Structure 1
Amino acid sequence: MRPQTALITIALIAMQAIGIAATQVTVLHRGERITWFEVLKGESKRVNIRGEHYTISVSHSGTPKRNKRERLSATGHACGSETAVQFESQCHAERQTYAATPLTGSLQHRAVSKFIPRSRIGSLLLRYSRCCMVARIWLLSLLPAVVWKQIWPVVRDWVLWIFRASLEEGTLPHQWRHAKIIPLKKPGKDNYTLAKAWRPISLLATLGKVLESLIAERISHVVESHGLLPTNHFGARKQRSAEQALLLLQEQVYTAWRGRRVLSLVSFDVKGAYNGVCKERLIQRMRARGMPEDLLRWVSAFCSDRTAAIQVNGQLSEVRSLPQAGLPQGSPLSPILFLFFNADLVQRRIDSNGGAVAFVDDFTAWVTGRTARDNREAIEAIISDALNWEKRSGATFEADKTAIIHFTHKDYKSDPKPYTIKGQVIHPTKHAKVLGVIIDTGLKYKEHIAKASSKGLKTALKLQRLRGLSPATARQLFTATVAPVVDYASNVWMHAYKDKLIGPINRVQRVAAKAIVGTFLTVATNVAEAEAHILTAKERFWRKAVKTWTDIHTLPETNPLRRITARMRRFKKHCSPLLQIAEVVREVPIEQLKTINLLTLLP
């Protein structure tokens, strides 16, 4: 879209914002007539405009003659040159009030014939129209980011006015609170006739997501600067990842083993995490942690009066209001807000007796004792606390996704006795999936390596089906699609990659090499890797391990994983994977690494 065309588009939206219900727009440029039909209904004709001065006349359907015309003059700048957009009309002597028909309902708007100060435009539009000129109709609400990048020099000031007014007034346009929901299949489900086998993703207005991203960055800066959230809360925060949470948990298991203790773990999963957020509880908990009232008023408006339409197989349902909307899954602001929502649940100290970690909506807590039977009372207390938090918050834990596991090498220290959660009997298992990794009682990771190899092989076979790719392109696809599937959280389980577990991953390497350069499937793995010019799996794992080790030592002291590695020492028995990595890279001058502080400047 050319900047001149964007100017005309925004001007049309401004017309509709002040009450001109146009259905036909005529553009005159140097005597040439170009017409956009039914702009407000979504059927617009592409216009190529080269000049600098345009005259646009508006005609109406179903509107009395006396209310047809309005005068509005607007100027803008595009591509370094001044572009004038003039709306020529005659204003009725009585200055009648125009009745607009916006997308969200009928609102009355006063005709504008005088110049409005620039500093007041956004505020007035939000106050009287409860919407903004840029997001007034679908035309610009659904524009992709690449279009906004091209027209930004033209619309920059208007957008900034709108954002500033939204924050000052503590409200936001209705269009930014509307979502088109697309259900996506959750992978690996057996029965897709159940609603929980689908993940509803909300498609939101581009401009609204920009403002939400800005607010999320500001909140993150305040959180990290003042320590408003628990340090063991991972996910949706800078310099924190699921792999760090898994490494922290694994270090606690090895520490318990070195003390001849058993670590008993219980893992919870919140059902419909974002959709189940109670607005009142969220505001209350954000206020308790010191967030300003102006921001809380805006967040309250963000969670209120939301509407949605569901699209399935290309068919769009009618728009319906969401009385209990929660947080839209697809908004950049939702993750950081959810951290405030469940912060009280995660607020647990990590020590030799137990602790907890969380990754957004996945909560995992543990206790240690001489045997699993000794841990039973503490595990029941954790379950009771979690269920009490569930009642206070209006959230729901899925009992069938709750997992209990006792980490021990000795069977006589384990305890097969089940637990009762919400009337459902939960038996301790030999292995459980925590943050995407299948963890077993002995940390052997056989099940996880087999699962990762199977998924990697399927992806490599899909790559092999592609025809006509150059070796460089196929190699790039392998690096981007196959390797990440196999290597996920490899720092946690790479110590178990030996003996019989090498075979499945080596087969993935051979299939990928065949897809890249066409080697025989029976060729030796090291030969196939050399011919395809790809790293071996072990080399990939160790490169990632060295990078992770150095990255840990650049983390701030508030990160619990940094505190653990700072006091690491050698042990003869139960040497953890992190300690093994430290032994290999002990010549790296760790003391010369500097802490990376991402909060030196405001976002």
Structure 2
Amino acid sequence: MAWVKQHNLLACEAIAYNGKPCHDMDSLLDALHGTYNAASRWQCDLAILDQLDPSLEWDWPPFSWKEMMDALLACSSRSAPGPNNIMWSHLKRTLLIEDVMEKFLAIADACMKVGYWPSHFKESVLVIIPELEKPTYSTPKSFRPIALLNMLGKVIEKMISTCLQFDCVKHEVFHPNQLGGIQQRLTKDAGILSKQGFPAHVCWFFASYLVGRGTRYLRNLFSSDLRSTDMGVGQGSALSPVLCNILSYVNDGTLIIQHKTLEDNLPPLREAYRIMFNLFNVFGLVMEHNKSELFHFIHQCDDANLPIVLNFEPFMAASSLKPKTFWRYLGFYFNQTLSFQEHFRYYSTKAISTVCMMEMLGNSLRGLTPKQKRILYQACVVPIVTYGFCLWYNDFARCKGHLQSLTKMQCHAAIWVIGTFRMSLTGQCEALASLIPIHLHLRKLASCATYRVTTLSRTHPVRSLMGRPDTPGAHMHRWHINNLGTKAFLATKSTVVDVAGKLPRLMEAFNTDSDEAHPGNQIMDVFSDRISFHPRPNGASANEQTTLLDITLLKAKGKEHSAIVACDSSVPQDSTEQALAAARVWIGDHMVKQTCQASSRAMASDAELHAIRASIGMATAIAGVDHIYVFMDHLPSAEQAVDLGIHSGQWRSLEVCTRLRSWLGADPVRCVSFISVNSKLKWSVHQNIHKYVSDQSFSVVCSWHLATSLAYLHMAKVAACRDEWNRLFTMSKYLRRGFLCLCDNNDKDIKPSYLGGGTCLKHLETPTLCARVCHCVLNHTPIGAFRAQFNLSNKVGCPCGSPLQTREHLLTSCTRVFEQDYEGAPTCFQQVIDFCKKDPWMFSFVPFLTE
């Protein structure tokens, strides 16, 4: 946590450029401009593109208000303003005005149709700030340029970037090995776009966008004149990452050569480097040889670590490139045998040091509350520990030592959260601090990472390596795991192989790049004014809500050509039965259709989505219906039904959107209204469908080949980890002796949980109260029995006259304690809390009382 340490002032040095110091502002600005725009002197030969066949051209839909709002909501209101001093908070308020929004979208659409980017949006300010932890500040590369762009232009760029990424992933413009700046893949010229299938007006737009750009350099209080920055894809723009992948292809590249010996590896690696160097020169791109790194992956650590001579001017002419012992790439640390020991060592050490530094933020007397400490640990330390954990945590890895180190780290954090002694045991502290054991947390995260593979696009590189036959349209890698053979498959120790063995074959399917999901062409983009959602009125009483529902129902019945739909779902308690979804349709007072369908293994939200799908399907099939009223008790499911993002039950949303698009597009007067109903009201229309779907005669038993929803799998894994924690909690080896087992206010045994703020921690408001209660529960408390155990003092008796001051004595029979509200020993956790609140000195570090 570097922010709590004292920062040394940066050394004042003269910046040197091309061997000459910069003593005035003109020379300094020339040095900065020459460094950050070094590619301006490189020539580009696009004749090589003539060998490529142009791809089929696809459509580019107009922008919608939903795209604009999604772009705005993703922006922080506290970001630095643009050159015109307009901030995101200003735009978020201004663009909500309907007239302003319509004119803004008209400008954005006109820019794309005409193929023109206004010059006002091309100007930027480049603020130069020093980078931290640089050994010297005598070169321009020791400083970082921060680009400030026009905010209105950035909103349009964000919308264009979203559309570009969707089209490039869908139409396989991105190579499977491109992993940066692309959705779901995190870690120069318009002629290239025309070869890749982009519409002509999009190519014209980027022909205008990429030229005529200028920037002003700002260093302290000095500002330069406007200087041309026509090269590259621009800094600070939302389009920079995706354009870099489309036009430049690569920023950080990796050349991989595989042979049986290192001696056989070096010549083809040198030749591959030469080919890439010459190819980049043709495109006007620069390979910085001084940033090249060499790393050998070998089976045995005692093999020779041979260097390589690349023979490229001016950096690598005669000097050899020496291989590294450890290789840092995209935040991952690789060692030669791919055991990832260095990766774990680095991040575990960083996590442990962070936990140690957090102690200055609070202790058992003052500072952060226990809840805040727990949140801080989960937000700042757990992400550090789990970064890239799938590299070393799988069924093939030997990670027992890693887990022991992480368990010690979490025990340290748990002790800090609850304020107990350092000798307190791990299981006891984790239970009181509501921190799930780290090995169970990693098991849960690994399972969720496995399930996420099915949500990736069909062009994702992991898909090509998995070789799944149930992925239509996916191109398999030539070395995908299905081609390895049984013997090689079993011998391969890889996370991909581990995922392939665990991935359920009966999970639901996802479609991330369907035509319905295209930005600007989604159902809410095209028909946003004809699909409405009506939530429950805030603060309204039950009678007022019922009256409003009755009025809406009468309005629907009195309106000609309207259909009234009620839908609901039911998830049985028995895990061997399927969830159910039901829907009924009325025309006036006459019920015309009803259905009750099984929803497989699903959560309540999945079953509600199934019910909406069934109700929309029945209502749109009735001839002459112009308005559909859907009454339901879970409005977020209705919003999810028209959202084609990645979520559980996405295939049902796709069917709903397809059906609604066809039905709404056939007649401009058609519309759909989703009305939320409070199930506690037992309103007649919704209550009848609720009884209908809850009928036990409709129950369906799950079969072995039944599909399972993504949400159900996540819930099952969370429940399995929670049950395993509860099982450990009942074992004496985990809790050891001395732990005071209590019950809750309902006389049920307290079980550890990390959900909802935890089981115990949410009742302990202050650090002092938390520490004293935990001292009591753990029996690690500064009383006579503790002193007797460790021979700390001869004063082991209680001031009331008892020869030995124990926890049981203080809780049950000590005459100096206030009168208890219970008989005998406390059995409820709340009783222990009340006991400690009445006696502020109890179980705390106070002078030993002799009277």
TM class by shorter-chain length?
Answer: 0.5 to 0.7
Change beyond 3 A, Cα 1:540–1:511: same
Describe the SS at the equivalent of 2:443. helix
Calculate the TM-score normalised by the size of structure 1.
0.61
Deviations 1:401-455 (A, max 9, x none): 3222221213576551423253422122332112211101101222222221233
Take 2:82 and 2:173, find their aligned partners in 1: how far apart are those partners? 40
Matches within 5 A, 1:196-595: 196-242=141-187, 281-312=188-219, 315-343=221-249, 361-410=251-300, 416-420=306-310, 422=312, 423-424=315-316, 425-467=320-362, 468-495=367-394, 498-502=399-403, 505-506=406-407, 508-521=409-422, 523-565=424-466, 566=468, 567=481, 571-581=489-499, 586=502, 589-595=504-510
Change beyond 3 A, Cα 1:185–1:324: same
Change beyond 3 A, Cα 1:140–1:365: closer
Larger mean Cα displacement after TM superposition, 200-209 or 502-511: 502-511
Deviations 1:203-236 (A, max 9, x none): 2222111100111122222212322221221122
Take 1:139 and 1:443, find their aligned partners in 2: how far apart are those partners? 45
Change beyond 3 A, Cα 1:334–1:502: same
Deviation, 1:383, is 0.7
Describe the SS at the equivalent of 2:253. strand
Aligned to 1:145: 88
Matching residue's letter, 1:293: A
Describe the SS at the equivalent of 2:256. strand
Matching residue's letter, 1:164: D
Sequence identity percentage: 23
Larger mean Cα displacement after TM superposition, 288-297 or 426-435: 288-297
Change beyond 3 A, Cα 1:486–1:462: same
Change beyond 3 A, Cα 1:531–1:284: same
Describe the SS at the equivalent of 1:373. helix
* Structure 2 gap ranges (5+): 1-80, 469-480, 520-851
Change beyond 3 A, Cα 1:286–1:199: farther
Matching residue's letter, 1:298: F
Describe the SS at the equivalent of 1:290. coil
Change beyond 3 A, Cα 1:329–1:593: same
Deviations 1:147-179 (A, max 9, x none): 322222141122123223322333333332222
Take 2:428 and 2:299, find their aligned partners in 1: how far apart are those partners? 39
Aligned to 1:105: none
Matching residue's letter, 2:493: C
Deviation, 1:474, is 2.9
Change beyond 3 A, Cα 1:563–1:147: same
Deviation, 1:500, is 4.6
Take 1:521 and 1:330, find their aligned partners in 2: how far apart are those partners? 48
Matching residue's letter, 1:456: A
Take 1:582 and 1:340, find their aligned partners in 2: how far apart are those partners? 31
Matching residue's letter, 1:307: G
Describe the SS at the equivalent of 1:181. strand
Take 2:108 and 2:256, find their aligned partners in 1: how far apart are those partners? 44
Aligned to 2:511: 596
* Structure 1 gap ranges (5+): 1-137, 243-280, 344-359
Take 2:298 and 2:398, find their aligned partners in 1: how far apart are those partners? 20
Matching residue's letter, 1:374: D
Take 2:424 and 2:132, find their aligned partners in 1: how far apart are those partners? 33
Aligned to 2:106: 161
Matching residue's letter, 2:518: L
Take 1:596 and 1:519, find their aligned partners in 2: how far apart are those partners? 51
Deviations 1:176-220 (A, max 9, x none): 222232345656644455433443221222211110011112222
Describe the SS at the equivalent of 1:406. coil
Change beyond 3 A, Cα 1:404–1:374: same
Deviations 1:273-332 (A, max 9, x none): xxxxxxxx433322332333322232233222323234445x352343134452333211
Deviations 1:73-115 (A, max 9, x none): xxxxxxxxxxxxxxxxxxxxxxxxxxxxxxxxxxxxxxxxxxx
Take 2:278 and 2:463, find their aligned partners in 1: how far apart are those partners? 32
Take 1:489 and 1:430, find their aligned partners in 2: how far apart are those partners? 20
Describe the SS at the equivalent of 2:235. coil
Deviation, 1:526, is 4.2
Take 2:231 and 2:418, find their aligned partners in 1: how far apart are those partners? 51
Take 1:596 and 1:188, find their aligned partners in 2: how far apart are those partners? 45
Deviation, 1:240, is 2.1
Take 1:443 and 1:141, find their aligned partners in 2: how far apart are those partners? 51
Take 2:207 and 2:160, find their aligned partners in 1: how far apart are those partners? 14
Take 1:202 and 1:500, find their aligned partners in 2: how far apart are those partners? 46
Take 1:453 and 1:226, find their aligned partners in 2: how far apart are those partners? 41
Take 2:200 and 2:177, find their aligned partners in 1: how far apart are those partners? 26
- Contact 1:236–1:336 (8 Å) recurs in 2: yes
Take 2:408 and 2:228, find their aligned partners in 1: how far apart are those partners? 50
Aligned to 2:140: 195
Matching residue's letter, 1:392: V
Describe the SS at the equivalent of 2:127. strand
Change beyond 3 A, Cα 1:421–1:289: farther
Take 1:500 and 1:312, find their aligned partners in 2: how far apart are those partners? 50
Larger mean Cα displacement after TM superposition, 412-421 or 296-305: 412-421
- Contact 2:215–2:229 (8 Å) recurs in 1: no
Take 2:226 and 2:373, find their aligned partners in 1: how far apart are those partners? 46
Aligned to 1:7: none
Matching residue's letter, 1:394: G
Deviation, 1:400, is 3.5
Change beyond 3 A, Cα 1:464–1:305: farther
Aligned to 1:274: none
Deviation, 1:502, is 4.5
Matching residue's letter, 2:491: K
Take 1:400 and 1:508, find their aligned partners in 2: how far apart are those partners? 39
- Contact 1:471–1:516 (8 Å) recurs in 2: yes
Matching residue's letter, 1:429: K
Change beyond 3 A, Cα 1:326–1:427: same
Describe the SS at the equivalent of 2:86. coil
- Contact 1:224–1:599 (8 Å) recurs in 2: no
Describe the SS at the equivalent of 2:455. coil
Larger mean Cα displacement after TM superposition, 382-391 or 324-333: 324-333
Larger mean Cα displacement after TM superposition, 544-553 or 233-242: 233-242
- Contact 1:371–1:414 (8 Å) recurs in 2: no
- Contact 2:82–2:151 (8 Å) recurs in 1: no
Larger mean Cα displacement after TM superposition, 149-158 or 417-426: 417-426
